[in-house]
Amino acid sequence: MSSQEVEVLVVGGGQAGLAMSEHLSEGGVPHLVLERSRIAERWRSERWDSLVANGPAWHDRFPGLEFVDLDPDAFAGKEQVADYFVAYAEKINAPIRTGVEVTSVTRHADRPGFRAQASDGTTIDARYVVAATGPFQRPVIPPIVPENAGPRQIHSSAYRNPDQLPEGAVVVIGAGSSGVQIADELHRSGRRVYLSVGPHDRPPRRYRGRDFCWWLGVLGLWDAETPPQGAEHVTIAVSGARGGHTVDFRELGRRGITLVGLTAAYDDGILRFAPDLAGNIANGDANYLSLLDAADAYIARNGLDLPEEPEARELGADPDCLTNPVLELDLAEAGVTSIVWATGFAADYGWLKVDAFDERGRPRQRRGVSTEPGVYFLGLPWLSRRGSSFIWGVWHDARYVADHIAISRGYLAYDQSA
Ligand SMILES: Cc1cc2nc3c(=O)[nH]c(=O)nc-3n(C[C@H](O)[C@H](O)[C@H](O)COP(=O)(O)OP(=O)(O)OC[C@H]3O[C@@H](n4cnc5c(N)ncnc54)[C@H](O)[C@@H]3O)c2cc1C
């Protein structure tokens, strides 16, 4: 069994691991990135075929590299995003080893630093460890419908395309960016679709000539440091599909998707929904309109010459499913053969055996600096701000973490010279 010493071990070779590598290299800090599969693997094998980035190419990228052969206002396909990160790794000459999983990390008992065990049998001793294993690690399916209930049940991370599902109607549960896009794709392929809609934000795709990514940027909302009160889990429904469009639940309903409230329970073939559909849609509308208001105020305050767009405030007629909500669905009677759970992800740090987690297994950290000295986290939702789990945001968080490591190394260097 071989062993190796590195100053910093970065676990995970997605965008977070690469951003970390770039900043460490810039500071001259020796490091190694271990990726259990391929660079940016989740973009290749844990996303559906037609997925494009939610933000335009000018925005959803790192500062040091633009997408090649892509209009900056276009939305990169998932493979283009993965290719972008492969190119990025080459550009920064990242010391990355792929196909190697870190199976455990423990703190040394009698000296600083950590020992990592890797799946290729190597042992790595590192002074610092950065966990860059992703914001969305383990698919979560709430235990509502028993496995043997009948319909095929998959998580959105396992959904690829409509042909993968048996013929028949589909219930899509969760109406964040994933659920709403998957429901739309299934409906366009000719399926009967039920979409279970919970609380959500739904910014306009574009308003007065600017993409919502731009609006969130100039309004300081990407930089918001804490989630709005009570909104820690509110998902954001946006789509770059077919050139990008505002997610409009009424329009989906009018086109024939049956919107239902939160999926509450299942019993004996019947799926039951909370009577909260109208409220969830109204709150989403309020969020949408508040962004228009903020954008208008910004334009007025800064004297910008951007075209008026009063029609953006027309919400359109309520579809029947909104005025007469379905509260229960007999799955067999409705011909439902599949359920797609777009219900999010949990973290899984089973390999990181250090004192850096709360009683629910969540990292105890501030801006990525954990309570276990020498251990850092990157890429987590709201790590430092709203943008933290997104492509552009993680790059800035990685710079902060690299800086923290540099400061720590400075003190240790003084000790040694003394
Ligand atoms: C459907 C979907 C669409 C999204 N679209 C966008 C978008 O358009 N724009 C945007 O900015 N963000 C988007 N995101 C959010 C975010 O950008 C992605 O989730 C992104 O993959 C996160 O990158 P990451 O490097 O933090 O984590 P990951 O991409 O999850 O990378 C972590 C890596 O760590 C590896 N790994 C895990 N455990 C180990 C281990 N023990 N040892 C070694 N390697 C390990 C994994 O194989 C993986 O490659 C989207 C997320 C989802 C789910």
313 residue type, one letter = R
> For residues 154 and 142, what is the distance between their CA atoms, to the nearest angstrom?
12
For the record, the structure tokens of 37 come out as 């599969």
Alpha helix segments (H runs only) across 112-201: 177-188
Q: What angle do CA 212, 187, 158 make, to 5 degrees?
A: 80
Q: Please give the angle made by the CA atoms of 219, 223 and 225, to the nearest 5 degrees.
A: 125
The segments of the chain whose pLDDT lies below 50 read none
Are residues 22 and 98 located together in one domain of the fold?
A: yes
* 93 & 36 share domain: yes
Same domain (yes/no): 131, 148: no
CATH at 171? 3.50.50.60
Same domain, 233 and 314: yes
Residue 224 has a pLDDT of 86
CA 165 to mean position of chain CA atoms: 24
Tell me what pLDDT residue 270 has.
98
Determine the Cα–Cα distance for residues 320 and 361; give it in Å rounded to an integer: 43
> Among 286, 312, 341, which residue terminates a domain?
341
CA 32 distance to own-chain centroid: 25
* Closest protein CA for atom 45 of ligand 1: 12
Q: Does residue 34 line the site of ligand 1, with CB under 6 A? A: yes
Q: Kindly state if the Cβ of 102 falls inside 6 Å of ligand 1.
A: yes
pLDDT computed for residue 218 by the predictor: 98
pLDDT at 48 (0 to 100): 98
Q: Are residues 219 and 322 in the same domain?
A: yes
Q: Which of 324, 341, 358 is the endpoint of a domain?
A: 341
Whether residues 328 and 358 fall in one domain: no
Q: Please indicate, yes or no, whether residues 190 and 249 belong to a single structural domain of this protein.
A: yes
Q: Are residues 128 and 146 in the same domain?
A: no
Q: Does ligand 1 lie within 6 Å of residue 287's CB atom?
A: no
Q: Which range marks the domain in which residue 101 is found?
A: 3-137+347-417
The tally of domains found in the chain comes to 2
pLDDT of residue 233: 60
The answer to whether the CB of 42 is under 6 A from ligand 1 is: yes
CA distance 232 to 381: 10
pLDDT given for residue 230 in this prediction: 58
Same domain for 199 and 323, yes or no, is: yes
Mutate to test the pocket of ligand 1, among 46, 81, 136 (most ligand atoms within 8 A of CB): 136
Report the separation in Å between the CA atom of 5 and the middle of ligand 1, taken as the mean of its atom positions.
27
Let me know whether 324 and 407 are in one domain: no
Choice from 117, 390, 395 to test ligand 1 binding pocket (greatest atom count within 8 A of CB): 390
Mutate to test the pocket of ligand 1, among 22, 36, 156 (most ligand atoms within 8 A of CB): 36
The pTM is what?
A: 0.96
Last residue of one domain, picked from the residues 325, 341, 357: 341
Residue 366: CB atoms within 10 A of its CB come to 10
**pLDDT (tens digit, 9 = 90+) per residue, 2-34?**
999 999 999 999 999 999 999 999 999 999 999
Let me know whether 292 and 213 are in one domain: yes
The tokens of 249 are what? Answer: 């639940």
The pLDDT value recorded for residue 285 is: 97
Residues 280 and 295 in one domain: yes
**Residues pairing with 236 in the sheet:** 201
